[in-house]
Structure 1
Amino acid sequence: MSAHTKEPTPGAGVNATWNYTLGSIVFLFVAMDLIIILDLLGRFSETRSGTDLALVAVCSLAAAVRIRFCWFLRDRRDGALPETWWTVALFAPALVAWGLAFVAPETALFATVQLWLSGVLWAFFVRWRLRLVALALLLGVVVTPVAVHAAQGIPQTSQIFGALSGFVLFYGVMLPAMLYASLWMWRVVWRLDEARQLGAELAVTQERLRFAADLHDIQGHHLQVIALKAELAERTMGSAPEQAAAQLSEIRIIAKEAMEETRSLVAGLREVGLQSELENASEVLTLSGAACTLAVSSDPAAPEAQRVLAFAVREATTNILRHSNASWAAISLTDVRGGTELVVTNDGVAGTPERAGGGSGLVGLRKRVQAIGGTLDAAAGTERGSEPAQHTFELRVWIPEGGST
C-alpha cells in the first residue's frame, strides 16, 4: 500500500458556495460605495473643491481595498488577521476620510462611514467577544465628527445629501448583521466539507486497520500451522522419514496458500469460508495431538456473520496452538437465542482468561463481534465430573440472525 495519500480538496459545491458568498459580500460594500462616490462626484462637479476631490479619491481607494480584503474571509479563523500591511491599507484611506469629515461638515456623514465600513469588515477577523467591543468603540469614534458639528450647530448635510442620509445610516447599521448572515452560511458549508474530508480520512484509516487485522489473521494462523508441522517433521525425520516428507510437502502447500491469500487480501478479493475454517481447525488441532470434536448444526446466511465467525474459529485455534498444551478440544456451531453461537473449549489452559490467550487477538475479535451486534465471552473454568479436576478454557461467540442488530 502506498505511504502517501492524496489531500482531500473542497468539492465543487463548496467552491460554488464560496463564490456566491463572496459575490454577495462584495455587493454589500460596492452598493454603498457606489452611492457615496457618485454623490460625492456630483458635489465636486458643482464646488470644484480640493477637499471634495480628496474625499472622492480616498473613498475610492478605501472601497478598492475593502473589496480585495473580502477575499481573506474564505480562510479566516477567529483571532487570525491577514498580514499587518493589509490591515494598514484597509484603515489608512478610511482614517483620512474620517479626518476630512472635521473640515467638510456637509459631507461628514459620508466621510465618517468609510471608517465604519472598513472597521466592520476587519471586526470579522477577531474573536466574537472582542468583535463586539471593537464595534462599540469604533461606533463612538465614527460619530465623533458628526457630533462635533452638531454641537457647534453647523449644518452637516446639503439638500443633495439629505435625501440619502437615512439610507446610509440604515445601511450602515444593518451591515454587520448582513455580513454575519452571509459568513455564517459559508461557515456551515465549510464545516460540513471539513467533516466530509475527515470522514474520507477516517475511512482510509479504518481500511488500513482492517487490512492489518486481516493480514494478522491470515499470516498468524498459517505461520502457526507451519511451525507445528515443521516441529512434527523434525521429530519424525529419523523414525518415519515418509511421514516427515509428507509434513514438509504440506508446509510448502500451506506457505503457497498463505502467499495467495495475502495477494487476494491486497486485491480485496479474499472471502473467508466458515465451513473451511471449521474443518481446518479440527484437522490442525488433531495434528497437534489434541482429540478434537466438531459439531456443526448451523450455517448463518449473512456474509458478515460468516466472516466474523470464521475469524473467531481461526483466532481460537491459533490461541490453542500457541498458548496451551491441550489434550482435547471441542468446537460447536449451533442456533441459539435467535442467532448463531460458536463455542470452542479446550483443556490446555489453567488460569485466568487474560493468561489464556486473552491478548490483542481476542481484543480485536471482540471488536469485530460487537460491531455486528454480537457478544464474546472468554472464561477459564473446571470441567464438571472430572477426576482429578481438569482446567478448561472456553471461547463463546454469539452473532444475531442477519449478522447485526
Structure 2
Amino acid sequence: MSSPSLAVDRFGDPPPGARQLARGITATWWYTLSAVLFIELFLVLIWALRVFVRPGDVVAPLVVGAGGLVWWLSTVLLLSGYRRGVQGEPVALWTRVVPFALAVAFGVASGVIADSWLFAVTPLAQSLALLLWPRGVRRRVVVFATIVLFILAFIDGMRGTVDGGIPGWLPSFYAVLIPAMSVSSLWWWDVLVTLDRARASEARLAATQERLRVATDVHDLQGHHLQVIALQLELAERLMARDADAALEQLRAARVSVDEARQGTRDLATRFRSVPLGDEVANARDLLSAAGIAVEADIDVDADAAPASALGPVIRETTTNVLRHGAGSRAHLSLRRDAGTWRYEVTNDVVPGAERGSTGSGLDGVRRRLAEVGGTLEVREQGDDFTVIVAVPEAESRPAAGEGER
C-alpha cells in the first residue's frame, strides 16, 4: 500500500506539520503587516520633519504629523480587508470607504500645507495599491501610480517646492516608490497563501484517494465473497429436494465463505488502521516535545517496514511511562534494524532519589505480547536514567505468504 501524503494522516486530518504551516502563515502575515506599516510610518515621519524645518510655522508640522498618524492607522483596515479577501472571506465596504476618505483628507491637507502635489496624491495612491485587485490589474495600478507620483515629484521640483540637491529629493523619491515597496511585501504573502492552498488541495486529494482505495478494496473483497455465497446458497436450494447431504455441504461451504469474508474485512480494517512505525516514533517525539521534554530521535530510514503490530503498543506504552514517571527533562528514542532484528530503545531521566519498584503492569503486558512473537523486553536503570530496550525478529515484519490475497 502506498503511503498517504504527508499533508494528511490516515483519517484525513492534517498532521502537526500542517498545523505548524498554518501558524507560519499567520506569523508571515504579521511580518507583512509590520513591514507595510513601517514603510508608511517612515514616510509620515520624513514629511513631518520636512515641514518642521520651515521657520516660524508650528501648525504645519502638527497637522502633517497628527494627520499622518490617523491615515497610517486607517491603512490597518485596508490591510485587514486585503487579508480577508485573499482568504475568500467577505469584506465590509466601510473598511475601504473610511481609509480612502482619510487618505484623501490627509492628502489634501498636507498638500496644501506643504504646497506639494506629491504630498496631496501619495496617500490616495498608496491606498489604491493596498486594495485586492484581480490578477494582473494590481500591477497596472502600481505602475500607473508610480508614474503619476514621479511626474508630480518632478513638477514639485520645477515649482521650487523641493529643496535642491540629493537630500532634498530623497523624501520625494521615497514617496514615489512607496506603493511598489508595499505591494512587494504583499506579493510574498500572496505566494505563501497560494502554497498553503496547494498543500490543502493535496491533503484533500490524498484523503480522497485513500478513501477511494479503501472503498475499492472493500467492494472487491465483499463483492467476490457475496457472489460465491449467493451461488452456494442457490445450489443448496436446488439440491435440497434431491440430495440433502449435498445441499448441506453447500450450506457449510457458504458458512466458510462468510467466515472468510468476515476475516478478510477484519484484515483490511487492520491494515488501514495500522500506523507505520516511523510515524509512531515521530508522534511520540512530538508528544514528548509538547510536554516540554528535550527529545532526540534516531529513526531508521526503513522504519515503516518494522512490525507495527508488535512495536506500536511498545512505543505508546513507553511514551506514557515517560510522561507519567519521568523527570520531564530529556528523552532519547531510537528505532534501528540490527542483524535481523528491529530494536527500539527509549531512555529518559527520572526523579533523582525516587523509589523504583515494579516496572508496572503496562510493561509487563507488553513483555507478554512480545514473547508471543519471539521478541524481548529489557529494562535498565543506570543512575538517573531509565531505559527500555525492545527487540523483535525482522521476520515478524514480513507478511505471511498469501496475506492480503484472499
Could you tell me the TM-score, scaled by structure 2's length?
A: 0.53
1:74-118 C-alpha deviation (Å, 9 max, x unpaired): 344499994321222222122123323564345664454333332
The letter for the 2-side match of 1:237 is M
Which of 260, 265, 273 pairs up with 2:263?
260
How do 1:202-241 and structure 2 match up within 5 A?
202-241=205-244
Verify: 1:83 aligned to 2:92, yes or no.
yes
* Structure 2 match to 1:47: 57
* Structure 1 residues not aligned, in runs of 5+: 272-405
Check whether the contact 1:90–1:118 (CA below 8 A) recurs between aligned residues. Answer: yes
CA distance in 2, matches of 1:16, 1:246: 70
Check whether the contact 1:30–1:63 (CA below 8 A) recurs between aligned residues. Answer: yes
The letter for the 1-side match of 2:58 is R
Q: CA RMSD in A?
A: 3.8
Check whether the contact 1:101–1:111 (CA below 8 A) recurs between aligned residues. Answer: yes
CA distance in 1, matches of 2:172, 2:156: 17
| 1:83–1:45 distance in 2 versus 1, CA, 3 Å | farther
The letter for the 2-side match of 1:180 is V
- The aligned length equals 260
Check whether the contact 1:229–1:251 (CA below 8 A) recurs between aligned residues. Answer: yes
Q: How far 1:213 sits from its partner (Å)?
A: 1.0
Verify: 1:32 aligned to 2:43, yes or no.
yes
| 1:131–1:199 distance in 2 versus 1, CA, 3 Å | closer
Check whether the contact 2:150–2:176 (CA below 8 A) recurs between aligned residues. Answer: no
SS in 1 for 2:126: helix
The letter for the 1-side match of 2:57 is T
* Structure 2 residues not aligned, in runs of 5+: 1-10, 275-406
Which of 50, 61, 64 pairs up with 2:73?
64
Which of 167, 170, 178 pairs up with 2:170?
167
- Tell which has more relative contact order, 1 or 2 (C-alpha 8 A, sep 6+): 2
SS in 1 for 2:130: helix
SS in 2 for 1:200: helix
CA distance in 2, matches of 1:66, 1:189: 22
1:156-191 C-alpha deviation (Å, 9 max, x unpaired): 2579xx875422222223333323332333222222
* Structure 1 match to 2:161: 156
Q: How far 1:205 sits from its partner (Å)?
A: 0.7
Which of 248, 251, 254 pairs up with 1:248?
251
Which of 189, 194, 198 pairs up with 1:186?
189
SS in 2 for 1:126: coil
Check whether the contact 1:109–1:165 (CA below 8 A) recurs between aligned residues. Answer: no
| 1:258–1:17 distance in 2 versus 1, CA, 3 Å | same
| 1:142–1:115 distance in 2 versus 1, CA, 3 Å | farther
The letter for the 1-side match of 2:161 is Q
1:33-68 C-alpha deviation (Å, 9 max, x unpaired): 23324554x35994233x554333322211111244
CA distance in 2, matches of 1:149, 1:180: 25
* Structure 2 match to 1:131: 138
The letter for the 2-side match of 1:97 is F
How do 1:5-404 and structure 2 match up within 5 A?
10-40=21-51, 42=52, 46-49=56-59, 52-77=61-86, 82-101=91-110, 103-106=112-115, 109-122=118-131, 125-131=132-138, 134-135=141-142, 138=145, 155-157=160-162, 165-268=168-271
Check whether the contact 1:69–1:90 (CA below 8 A) recurs between aligned residues. Answer: yes
1:274-329 C-alpha deviation (Å, 9 max, x unpaired): xxxxxxxxxxxxxxxxxxxxxxxxxxxxxxxxxxxxxxxxxxxxxxxxxxxxxxxx
Higher Rg of the two aligned structures:
1
Check whether the contact 1:59–1:114 (CA below 8 A) recurs between aligned residues. Answer: no
SS in 2 for 1:239: coil
Q: How far 1:209 sits from its partner (Å)?
A: 0.9
| 1:24–1:147 distance in 2 versus 1, CA, 3 Å | closer
Q: How far 1:204 sits from its partner (Å)?
A: 1.0
The letter for the 1-side match of 2:249 is A
Check whether the contact 2:129–2:183 (CA below 8 A) recurs between aligned residues. Answer: no
CA distance in 2, matches of 1:210, 1:252: 28
CA distance in 2, matches of 1:93, 1:86: 11
Check whether the contact 1:234–1:244 (CA below 8 A) recurs between aligned residues. Answer: yes
Check whether the contact 2:126–2:179 (CA below 8 A) recurs between aligned residues. Answer: no
